[in-house]
Amino acid sequence: MVLLVLVTALWAFSFSLIGEFLAGRVDSDFAVLTRVLLAALVFLPFTRWRGVPGGMKLGILITGMLQFGITYLCLYRSFSYLTVPEVLLFTIFTPLYVTLIDDALFRRFSPVALLAAAIATLGAGIIRYDGLSEDFITGFLLLQVANFTFAAGQVGYKHVMRHYALALPGYRTFGYFFFGALVIALPSFLIFGDAEKLPTTSLQWGILGWLGLAASGLGLYLWNRGACEVDAGTLAIMNNALVPAGLLVNLLIWNRDADLMRLMLGGAVIAFSLWVNTRFHPRARVLARAS
C-alpha cells in the first residue's frame, strides 16, 4: 500500500507536464518511445536472462505491451483532444476495468460494473455537455483503451508473479516489462512518428528524461510491485487516488480558470458510479471492507 501511495504522489505531476509542455509540441510516438528506452536502460543491467521460465518472460512482456506500450500511446494522443483535468477525470474508469478483468481471470462476472460504467459515462457527458464534439469523443475513446490496457497490465502482472513464485527480486525480471513496451512503441514511431515534431528545447528533453527515468522506470516498477502486495479491491481504489492528486496539481498551478462547477458535478456523478460498483458488486464490496 505504501508503494502505491508513493507512486501516486510521483505521478500526480506527470499528467500536467505532458499536457502543458509536450502535448501538441512533441510527437507523441517519440515521447513514448523515449520513455520506454530510458526506463529499459534503467533495468537492463539488472535483468536476469537465465533461470527465468519462458512463460514468465512472455507474461511480463505482454503486461509491458499492454500497461506501458498501448496505454501510453493512447494516453498521449488523448491530450490532443481533451484538457488535462478531463484526462484525469476520465481515468476514473480504470478501477471498473480492474474489477472486470480480475473477475474474468477468476471466471466470475457481475453486470454491476457495466451499470457503473454507464453512470460514469453520463458523468463524462456532463463535463462536456456544451460540446460533445467529434474530437471529444475521439479523445474519450482513446483514453478508455488506455484505461483498459493499463488495468489489464496491472492485473496481469499480479497474476503472472503469483503463478511464477520465484525466489528472485522483482527488479531482476522487470526489464522484460519494458522490452514488451518497446515491441509496441518502436514500430508505432517508425510508422506514425513525425520527425518534424521532436523536442526542441532543453525543458522538453528534461521533462522526457524525468518521465522516462522516474515516472516510468521507477514509478511503474514500484506500482506493479505494490499491486502484488494488495488485493484487487485495494488496487482498484488506488487507481483513483491519482485523480484528485493530479487535478489538484493541475488546477492550482496551470488551470486556475477551469470550469470547476462542471468538473465537480461531472466528477461527482462519476464518483457515484464507483460507489455503485463498490456497494453492489459482490466481490468489490468484500474487498473494499477488507481494505
Query: pLDDT per residue over 110-128, tens digit each?
Result: 677 667 767 776 776 676 5
pLDDT for 161 beyond 60:
yes
pLDDT for 51 beyond 60:
yes
pLDDT for 290 beyond 50:
no
Report the mean per-residue pLDDT for the chain: 83
**pLDDT tens, position by position, 18-27:** 888 998 899 9
Q: How many CA atoms lie within 13 A of 132 on its CB side?
A: 9
**What mean pLDDT comes out for the span 174-190?**
96
Predicted pLDDT at 134: 75
DSSP 198-226: S--SHHHHHHHHHIIIIIIIIHHHHHHHH
Predicted pLDDT at 4: 86
Closest CA to 12 of 243, 260, 214: 243
> Quick one: CA torsion of 186, 188, 194, 200, rounded to 10 degrees?
-40
**What mean pLDDT comes out for the span 132-146?**
85
Q: Does the pTM of the predicted model rise above 0.85? A: no
**pLDDT tens, position by position, 63-121:** 999 999 999 999 989 988 888 777 877 887 887 788 788 878 877 766 776 677 677 76
Predicted pLDDT at 41: 95
Q: 255 or 77: which carries more pLDDT confidence? A: 77
